[in-house]
Amino acid sequence: MDAAEFRVRGKEIVDMVADYLENVQKRPVYPAVQPGYMRQLLPETAPESAESWEDVIGDIERVIMPGTAHWNHPQFHGYFPSARSYAAICADMLSDAMGGLGFTWAANPACTELEMIMMDWLGKMLDLPEQFLFCSGGKGGGVIQMFSAH
């Protein structure tokens, strides 16, 4: 895929995402599939040549959606919010395009410094003592951790 096709396909994906979010309430909250459901929907071996974009996109509805728990569904109250607002999705797209990881300052200074500032904002909102903040110059501060069920 080159940049020109990416522009076209990316706009198609944005429309898919908007349609999904506008209509998620019409889907079942939790899938009615059994373990192994997907094996019968996909070939036993990987394709030897690329499939068309249309076939891949078609597999989203045919293969993926039947087994998806819709965390954005208004009746989904398990676990925690999925933070899938339109603004969050746009931010994820930009973050994915940049591809930077902020595990150290040298790996991505902007990412690391933004996280430190945001953690100070959070600490101040929670009225934490000064020594818990990066800006205190001490040993305070923290990191944003993502929960993973893996």
Q: Are residues 13 and 59 in the same domain?
A: yes
Residues 69 and 123 in one domain: no
Query: What is the helix, strand, coil percentage profile of the chain, to 5?
Result: 55, 0, 45
CATH classification at residue 33 = 1.20.1340.10
User: 114 is in which domain, residue-wise?
Assistant: 100-150
| Joined tokens for residue 14 | 């944005």
61 and 23 housed in the same domain: yes
Same domain, 8 and 20: yes
**Alpha-helix residue ranges (DSSP H) falling in 1-150:** 3-23, 53-59, 86-98, 109-125
- Closest to 113 in 3D by CA, of 83, 94, 91, 134: 134
Judge if 91 and 108 occupy the same domain. no
Residues 90 and 104 in one domain: no
88 and 33 in a common domain: yes
Q: What is the dihedral of CA 18, 8, 98, 19, to 10 degrees?
A: 10
Say what the pTM is: 0.74
Do 93 and 120 have their domain in common? no
Name which of 17, 101, 7 is nearest 57 in CA terms.
17
70 with 128, same domain: the answer is: no
Report the number of distinct structural domains present in the chain: 2
Q: How confident is the prediction along the chain (150 residues), in pLDDT tens digits per residue?
A: 999 999 999 999 999 999 999 999 999 999 999 999 999 999 999 999 999 999 999 999 999 999 999 888 888 887 766 667 888 889 889 988 988 887 888 998 998 888 889 999 999 999 999 988 989 887 778 776 665 554
